[in-house]
Amino acid sequence: MNQNQIAVQLKGRDLLSLHDFTPQEITSILDLAADLKQKQKQGQPHELLKGKTLAMIFQKSSTRTRVSFEVGMFQLGGHALFLSADDIQLGRGESIADTGQVLGRFVDGIMIRTFAQSDVAQLAEHCQVPVINGLTDLLHPCQILADLQTVREHKGKLAGLKLAWVGDGNNVCHSLMFGCAKTGMHISAACPEGYLPDDKIVAAAREDAAETGATVTVTTDPAEAVAGADVVVTDVWASMGQESEQQARMSIFASYQVNAKLTAGAAPDYIFLHCLPAHRGEEVTAEIIDGPHSVVFDEAENRLHAQKAVMALLMG
């Protein structure tokens, strides 16, 4: 299937989970992201969504998600509307179904950053325009598209590489499992007992991996996960909404810190990723995140380009 056929296939679709997309569709998104990044760097206009509007619903606060979507829509020639929970009726009891029905008649696409994955699915079910998952407690697909773009830029490929996840089996870990499986990357996730990734996500990712030759490994041993890894990834130990667990998690995750001793087992030319914000001295040492292997700010920038590609293909 060529690029034009895939573009037609993606038009009008929702992005709820990377599990819903074929390897070819994900590759097309990454190809367009790279092209749009080059155009933006060269000052070439690329108003693929001229005159179109994206509604951005934020029930969780954000820096990177809000700025990257808002700037992305501007660069694509469109307009983005920021809607916090306090700004819309959803925060005062209007159902998600009704919100979707109404907003879908005003705008050309909706991005939502919220808590429950079921809320995003319900919004998409009752809305006639594309819905993009900007983050839920279960999944974070847009972040992982940026991660894949970053790995591809620095490694020249995805298939056959090994990615190590160290830390909580959270939404980023879940979406990384899908992203790696779909693109032929091997993923090994090291998480403490009680903080392992969701069994259903792991099973679904292994189904995806069977089609591409990738492997999905879950372990409690960080050294095992990092051994020979081309990419090492971590995240904060206590995500948004888990602040009350911070002290307990500090002791549970202490041996999961990404530091020089742990990364000594990775490939010599490994790259380090973190979706940010980061807590230096907790999940990662300053030596690593500010060191020569770190590409976290390239990764942050690529949120803009990967999401522009998503919006252009789904809303175009």
The pair of structure tokens assigned to 72 is 């992305």
Q: Are 209 and 183 in contact (CB under 8 A)?
A: no
E-assigned strand segments in the chain: 53-58, 79-84, 109-113, 131-135, 162-166, 186-190, 216-219, 231-234, 271-274
> What phi, psi does 236 have (nearest 5°)?
-60, 150
Q: Count CB-CB contacts under 10 A for residue 192.
A: 18
| Token pair 């810190």: residue | 257
Q: Are 111 and 100 in contact (CB under 8 A)?
A: no
Q: Count CB-CB contacts under 10 A for residue 220.
A: 16
Biggest alpha carbon distance in the chain?
A: 55
- What's the CA gap between 193 and 55, in Å, rounded? 39
DSSP assignment string, 34-67:
HHHHHHHHTT----TTTT-EEEEEESS--SHHHH
Catalytic residues, by residue number, are 113, 140, 143, 235, 275, 303
Q: How far is CA 13 from the centre of its chain?
A: 17
